[in-house]
Chain A
Amino acid sequence: MESVLTVENVSFSYRSKYQTVNAVKQADCSFERGRAYAIVGKSGSGKTTLLSLLAGLELPGGGRILFDGRSTKEMDRDAYRRDNAAVIYQNYNLFPLLTVMENVLYSMKLKGIPNKEARERAEKELAAVGITPDQFKRFPPQLSGGEQQRVAIARALAAGNEIILADEPTGNLDEGNSAQVVDILLRLAHDENRCVIIITHDAEIAARMDRVYTMRDGILEGTD
């Protein structure tokens, strides 16, 4: 399988109010298309920071992250997030003033996809994650947590990005909804040849992934 993301000797630190925090001390790994990965670890171990680095939201202090051989330092990271890497958050991060449909359309409009095509794709992806048409015109606060998370996933899917980065996507969901969301993410990896990277605390979810990385005090360790 070809590697879509490669992490080479990456480290990252940031200055908090009182001290410099070495959030990621050492990370070396690679992620392939068609596979689902889990990054597990204790709170504060640097998982979310690593995800931000993978999403191009931050730049590594040392080492480099390569997307299809190109360093995130040298590429247009806005375009990278828009076209290649979609991020799903624990707290959904939907636009509260836009309807479900408009939230999904938003990322496609950013890419300049024509209205008609965007709407068809949005309807398809929303249906794929179990959102019914009568919910399309609802606003995010009118949906349950599980439904909002599925809309967030639909938004990531509809944009057609090949890397899906999910930061504790099931953190706010009950067991049933969690299972549904994980099923969808696994389907994305295995059926649609996307690279799915999930950060989770849940050992059961991690066990369902193709590969699990563990962050320990800023150091990434991998297990198959």
Chain B
Amino acid sequence: MMTMIFKRMLRRPGLSLAGLILAAALCFVLCFLVRYRDAQAAQLEETRKTYVVRGVVTDARGTKSNNLCLNRMFLDFVQDEEKGLWPYITDVRMIKNLECESDLGTGLAVGVTSPETDRRLDASLVGGYYTDKADFFESKDFCCLVPEYAYEQYRGGQIACRLTNSYTSAGLGSVGDNNGAEFKLDVVGWYKGDGADVILSFPAVQRLGGRLTNTVSVDAISFALKDNTQADLVREIAAKEFIRPDPSSLSFRPALTIQDRQYRAALTELEQNVRRTERLLPLSAFLSLAAGFFMGFLSVRGETRTYALMRTLGVGAGRLTAMVLAEQLLLPALCAAAVGLIMGRPLPALIYFACHAAGCFLAVLRPALAAPTKLLRAQE
């Protein structure tokens, strides 16, 4: 009997193909919408998790983020685990500069917390460095990186520098002895760049600065938020010590800018997409599923006469139902399986198939249960 079913399908290729295409299209719409919604939601989640929102300390006008000469109070506030920013921030990058005169010329001794802090070290910004000291950035030892061109000259040796701490308390003049002192720094590597600067670790420069003027200060601070949703909380906490940047401000107090505008814009757009899709999905799903249901229903209804005839020939209700469902559901099942697998969303494809099957099943109840003569008479 199954061969009869295949023969009937093959002998009306237009109808079979049209049914196949329509089923595939409806199934595709459903799977596509679900996949799109999932992709948008995943992207939203991914953005929430991975987008790095940074906070940068600047001058009051928000125009300068380096050479800020921030005193210990600000450094302590940033690093305070109870009342400061420390619990909410990560990847803290700080710079402390000392003036440096060496055989290389007049430049700076730059103390950095990580390679990303200075673009000359950052490989992602076409910088780069080499050091044979594994804990260079954490070490308090007096060792430095020199420009690449000078490395061969100082390799394994020392470079003599006269360092001066230019830190002054805001508007209050020099703090401590500002005449500088001679130091010999171990050369442990190089950085990409030329000029007369040497690069040290941030702790080492703080130690040098302490020796010079018995003070602790920092010239640049930036950090990433641990949790992007806490940007407003961080702003609120930061308001104890930092002001908001204002281009017209004449204040000497530093400002803190949390750079979350792009993050918020990206988030808003994604959230809108997800909301829009979620609004559209139930309607589209309903239409697709209803179309699938009616397609199944009408395809069986169109064959009522044939099925009634089968009943008069002695095909039982159960057998007829099984045959009709096999005949009417074979192509949609293949369609749903193929589309579900290709789109990677088997559940919506399965739901579509279930609706199609429900339509077929409902329609087959009539030829299966009603008296065949009535159906034949009605069809005539």
Residues of A bordering B, CB below 8 Å: 48, 52, 55, 57-58, 76, 78-83, 87, 89, 91, 93, 95, 97-98, 102, 106-107, 109-110
Establish whether residues B312 and A106, one from each chain, have CB atoms under 8 Å apart when the complex forms.
no
Interface positions, chain B 112-144, Cβ under 8 Å from A, are none
Is B276 positioned at the interface, with any CB of A under 8 Å from its CB? Answer: no
Q: What are 26 A-B contacts with C-beta separation under 8 Å? A: A52-B371, A52-B373, A57-B312, A57-B371, A57-B372, A58-B373, A76-B316, A78-B316, A78-B317, A79-B314, A79-B316, A80-B314, A82-B313, A89-B376, A95-B306, A95-B309, A97-B7, A97-B8, A97-B12, A98-B4, A98-B7, A102-B7, A106-B4, A106-B313, A107-B314, A109-B4
Cβ–Cβ < 8 Å partners of A78 in chain B: 311, 314-317
Question: Considering the chains assembled together, what is the distance between the CA atoms of A76 and B7 in angstroms?
Answer: 29
Question: Considering the chains assembled together, what is the distance between the CA atoms of A83 and B316 in angstroms?
Answer: 12
Question: Which partner residue on chain A sits nearest B380 by CB separation?
Answer: A91
Question: Considering the chains assembled together, what is the distance between the CA atoms of A108 and B360 in angstroms?
Answer: 27
Digitize B189-223: 1 where CB-to-A-CB distance is under 8 Å, 0 elsewhere. 00000000000000000000000000000000000
Cβ–Cβ < 8 Å partners of A106 in chain B: 4, 313
Question: Which partner residue on chain B sits nearest A49 by CB separation?
Answer: B373
**B377 smallest CB distance to A (angstroms):** 8
Q: Given A91-B380, A97-B12, does the pair A58, B371 have CB atoms closer than 8 Å?
A: yes
Identify which of B306, B309, B313, B314 gathers the most chain A CB atoms within 10 Å of its CB.
Answer: B314
Cβ–Cβ < 8 Å partners of A55 in chain B: 312
Residues of B bordering A, CB below 8 Å: 1, 4, 7-8, 11-12, 306, 309, 311-317, 371-373, 376, 380
Establish whether residues B8 and A81, one from each chain, have CB atoms under 8 Å apart when the complex forms.
no
Establish whether residues B11 and A97, one from each chain, have CB atoms under 8 Å apart when the complex forms.
yes
Question: Considering the chains assembled together, what is the distance between the CA atoms of A52 and B311 in angstroms?
Answer: 12
Residue of A82, A89, A93 near B314 (CB, 8 A) is A82
Cβ–Cβ < 8 Å partners of A57 in chain B: 312, 371-373
Question: Considering the chains assembled together, what is the distance between the CA atoms of A199 and B8 in angstroms?
Answer: 32
Establish whether residues B313 and A107, one from each chain, have CB atoms under 8 Å apart when the complex forms.
yes
Question: Which partner residue on chain B sits nearest A96 by CB separation?
Answer: B306
Question: Considering the chains assembled together, what is the distance between the CA atoms of A57 and B313 in angstroms?
Answer: 10
Cβ–Cβ < 8 Å partners of A89 in chain B: 376
Cβ–Cβ < 8 Å partners of B380 in chain A: 91
What 20 new A-B contacts, CB under 8 Å, besides A58-B373, A82-B314, A93-B312? A52-B371, A52-B373, A55-B312, A57-B371, A58-B371, A78-B311, A78-B315, A78-B317, A79-B314, A81-B313, A87-B312, A91-B380, A93-B309, A97-B8, A98-B4, A98-B8, A102-B7, A109-B4, A110-B1, A110-B315
Cβ–Cβ < 8 Å partners of B376 in chain A: 89, 93
Question: Considering the chains assembled together, what is the distance between the CA atoms of A106 and B314 in angstroms?
Answer: 11
Question: Which partner residue on chain B sits nearest A87 by CB separation?
Answer: B312
**A76 smallest CB distance to B (angstroms):** 8
